[in-house]
Amino acid sequence: MDLLKQRILAEGRNLGQGILKVDGFINHQVDPRLMFACGQELAARFSHLGATKVLTAEISGIAPAVAAAYHLGLPVVYARKQKPVTMPNEIFLTLAPSHTKGRTVELIVSPEYLGAGERILIIDDFLASGQTILGLARLAQAAGARVVGIGALIEKSFEGGRALLAAQDVPIESLAIISSMDDGRIEFAD
């Protein structure tokens, strides 16, 4: 998606060690027009799957997930990283390593909002190592739901996440695929 690639090149910063800083328009401050356009594109790519819910991880996945879900007419469920007191005692929980946080994080979903027989579309901001998305898939499977597709705004193909997720046997779509971040550059796959 050219609009997203242009923003990455204009405002994204390669911080080294595979870290791409895009918090001026995706992660910390969100550009709603960009998210609306990205959501529209993701919805177009996944509209044929018959998803019943969109699943993501807090916090950076929420904006693209809400935008895609809006265009699909679906609710969004996001996996929390801490259990609030309002959540029931029995929960779906998994662990996932976080590259940007430098530690393992919990992903928690209430069984009130993720159930058996649902068709889940996973949307996140990044597909890098694939660990967070794989954790979301585990949560869906624990609930008896079926993952029908995986979408990301930005994929760092050099981190191998797509190969890890291939076992899910579902369509995987990324709006901007970065093939290299060597020597401070940001290079997109064709």
Please write the tens of the pLDDT for every residue from 103-130: 899 999 999 999 999 999 999 999 999 9
**Angle in degrees, CA 56, 188, 173, rounded to 5:** 35
Peptide bond into 133 cis (omega under 30): no
135: left (phi over 0), alpha (psi -120 to 50) or beta: alpha
Angle between helices 32-46 and 62-72 (to 10 degrees): 50
| pLDDT given for residue 117 in this prediction | 97
Q: Name the domain count of the chain.
A: 1
Span 54-67, pLDDT tens digits: 999 999 999 999 99
Cross-strand partners of 154: 126, 176
In whole angstroms, what is the distance from residue 5 CA to residue 188 CA?
A: 8
* CATH assignment of the domain containing 28: 3.40.50.2020
Q: Average pLDDT over the chain, rounded to whole?
A: 95
Q: pLDDT category, 15, cuts 50, 70, 90?
A: very high
Domain interval for residue 38: 2-188
Span 151-189, pLDDT tens digits: 999 999 999 999 999 999 999 999 999 999 999 999 999
Q: Look at 16-20, 64-68, 142-146 and tell me which has the smallest mean pLDDT.
A: 16-20
Task: Flag whether pLDDT at 99 surpasses 80.
Answer: no
Cα 159 to the chain's mean position, in Å?
15
User: Are 174 and 127 within 8 A, CB to CB?
Assistant: yes
Mean pLDDT (whole number) for 43-59: 97
